[in-house]
Amino acid sequence: QKGLGDGFVWVDVQKALEKHKDEAIYYHTDSRWTTLGALYGYQELLKHMGIDASGQPELKRYAVAGDFSGGLSQISGYEPGYREPVYIYSAKNPAEDTDIVVNYVEEQKKTAALYDSGKLEEKDKYKVFLGGDFPVVDIRTTADSTERLLIVKDSFANCLVPFLAPY
């Protein structure tokens, strides 16, 4: 944070997450936050980015897997039988979803979805978000904005990106 200097706004979502520490904001078997944790992070980001989300569609949570066992469990052998759900959030009314095109630049692959349902058949079901980790992903939307957002991220942000797509 200090190395970035004053030209950047540092958004620390830790305090927002602490308010929800008794909820399932992190996976029990993985190091990453759940989509619920990402939702709280997104809400904190909106405050700092000055974005008014009041005109956005109401979101609904959908379970896309019920048998996720994360990397911590797989590597350590800790609670190997523990399974947890993976959720996505989408517009309650599907007609209100923002249309998108996701371009995986180096892979020269395009898709019209932020989720890769094929990854739900694999061991790491967290890859349902953006299909996993890729060096450069360019997302274009039909959002009513000409603003651009650059996200430098690791896998934690994969389930955060869908919340930001409408902007």
The residue with tokens 């095109």 is 101
- The residues, ordered by sequence, that sit 6+ positions from 130 with a Cβ below 8 Å of its Cβ are 102, 114, 115, 116, 137, 158, 161
pTM score, whole prediction: 0.91
Q: What is the pLDDT along the chain (167 residues), one digit of tens a residue?
A: 888 888 888 888 999 999 999 999 999 999 999 999 999 999 999 999 888 888 888 999 999 999 999 989 988 988 888 999 999 999 999 888 889 999 999 999 999 999 999 999 999 999 999 999 999 999 999 887 788 888 888 898 999 999 998 88
Q: Which two tokens stand for residue 119?
A: 């990854």
